[in-house]
Structure formats: C-alpha cells, structure tokens
C-alpha cells in the first residue's frame, strides 16, 4: 500500500529545553492521501507549525490547510471545500523504537512517542485530519437531500411522494379529525 503521506521529519537534536522550533511543509497533492471513504485531497497540503521543547515532553502545534473533495451526506453529490485545522499534540521521547507509532492515554492526555532525534509528523497530521473531518459533510447547509421514497434529488426538483405516500394510520387520523 502507498504511504499515506511522504516523510515530514523534524530534527530535535539541537533543541534545548524551553526552545521553540518553527517549520513549514508544502506537500504536493499526489504525495498524500486521506484514509476516509468519499474524501479525497484535491490540493496540496500546507503545514505551518512549531515544536516546543517543554522539559519532559515536546509540544507539536500546527495549522494545516488544504482543499478536499467530499460526498454530501444528504444528497450524495461530490463537492469541494477548503479544509483548515489546528493541531496540537504532546510528544514523548521513548527509549524503545517499537513504541514509535503508539499512542498512550496518560491522565487523559493523549500523546505520541518517538525514538531518536527525529520526529516524523506526517502520520500524526493525517490522523488529526481524519478526526477533524466534519461528520455531517454538506454541499450546503440548506441541502434538502434525496427523497427517501423515489430518490429524487430534492435540491433540483421536488417530487409528489409526500402527498402520495402518507402513512395509512395518519390518513385515518386525518379523517377522524375532519369528522
Ligand atoms: Zn447535498
Ligand atoms: Zn419522492
């Protein structure tokens, strides 16, 4: 399988406690992907952030910007939207290289670990982007969706189902109310 994203490695070898290192990455569209159905990058990924040496751990902060093609959850058409996300994560140095991609939950603090003097931020960034995707992906806040009976895209044209397919029990009730 193709990697989700190319290496985005930062060296922390010369970073002393209390120091901050800034970085910027520009990842062309064909060098990253997002592991989520019906979501596809249609632009480069721009990343600007900092790594702070906070004593026992490091703080990774970044703003990521890109453009995505997504499927509307209501009407199922594809639409394009800018996607901007702020990311913050704590990183702890591990002695064992096996821990590299594990995440731990320590006192409700989610953090990643890394080994050696370099941190590969690529997968951490993509992970945050997947979690940051909207659950309701709408082509428009007012999207009317598809008719659940005939499948008509109600943004384009209305259908007669509402009038025809009234629940018979409701129909009976209506008659009662009329009488
Ligand atoms: Zn829609
Ligand atoms: Zn209909």
Q: What is the mean pLDDT of each run of 10 residues along the chain (179 residues)?
A: 83 94 96 94 97 94 98 96 96 69 56 87 94 94 95 94 66 65
Q: Are residues 113 and 160 in the same domain?
A: no
Number of domains, the chain: 2
For residues 39 and 29, give the distance between their C-alpha atoms in angstroms, rounded to a whole number: 13
What is the model's pLDDT at position 94? 80
Ligand 1 midpoint to CA 70 (Å): 10
Burial class (CB in 10 A: 0-12, 13-18, 19+), 136: exposed
The answer to whether residue 53 sits within a structural domain is: yes
Q: Are residues 40 and 54 in the same domain?
A: yes
Sign for the CA dihedral angle at 147, 151, 153, 158 comes to negative
Q: Are residues 138 and 151 in the same domain?
A: no
Q: Are residues 108 and 76 in the same domain?
A: yes
pTM of the predicted model as reported, rounded to 2 decimal places: 0.79
What is the model's pLDDT at position 113? 85
Q: Are residues 45 and 93 in the same domain?
A: yes
Ligand 1 midpoint to CA 5 (Å): 29
Q: Are residues 170 and 122 in the same domain?
A: no
**Which domain covers residue 177, as residue numbers?**
145-179
Ligand 2 midpoint to CA 152 (Å): 6
Ligand 2 midpoint to CA 159 (Å): 5
What is the model's pLDDT at position 170? 63
């Amino acid at each position: 399988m193709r990697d989700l994203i190319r290496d985005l490695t930062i060296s922390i070898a010369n970073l002393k406690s209390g120091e901050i290192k800034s970085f910027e990455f520009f990842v062309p569209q064909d060098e990253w992907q997002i592991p989520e159905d019906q979501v596809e990058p249609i632009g480069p990924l721009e990343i600007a952030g900092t790594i702070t040496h906070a004593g026992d751990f490091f703080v990774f902060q970044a703003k990521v910007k890109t453009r995505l093609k997504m499927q509307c959850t209501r009407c199922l058409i594809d639409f394009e939207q800018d996607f901007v996300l702020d990311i913050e994560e704590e990183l702890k140095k591990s002695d064992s290289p096996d821990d590299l991609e594990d995440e731990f939950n320590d006192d409700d603090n989610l953090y990643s670990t890394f080994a050696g003097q370099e941190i590969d931020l690529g997968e951490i960034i993509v992970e945050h982007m997947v979690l940051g995707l909207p659950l309701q992906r709408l082509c428009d806040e007012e999207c009317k969706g598809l008719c659940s009976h005939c499948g008509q895209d109600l943004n384009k044209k209305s259908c007669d189902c509402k009038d025809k397919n009234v629940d018979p029990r409701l129909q009976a009730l209506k008659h009662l109310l009329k009488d």
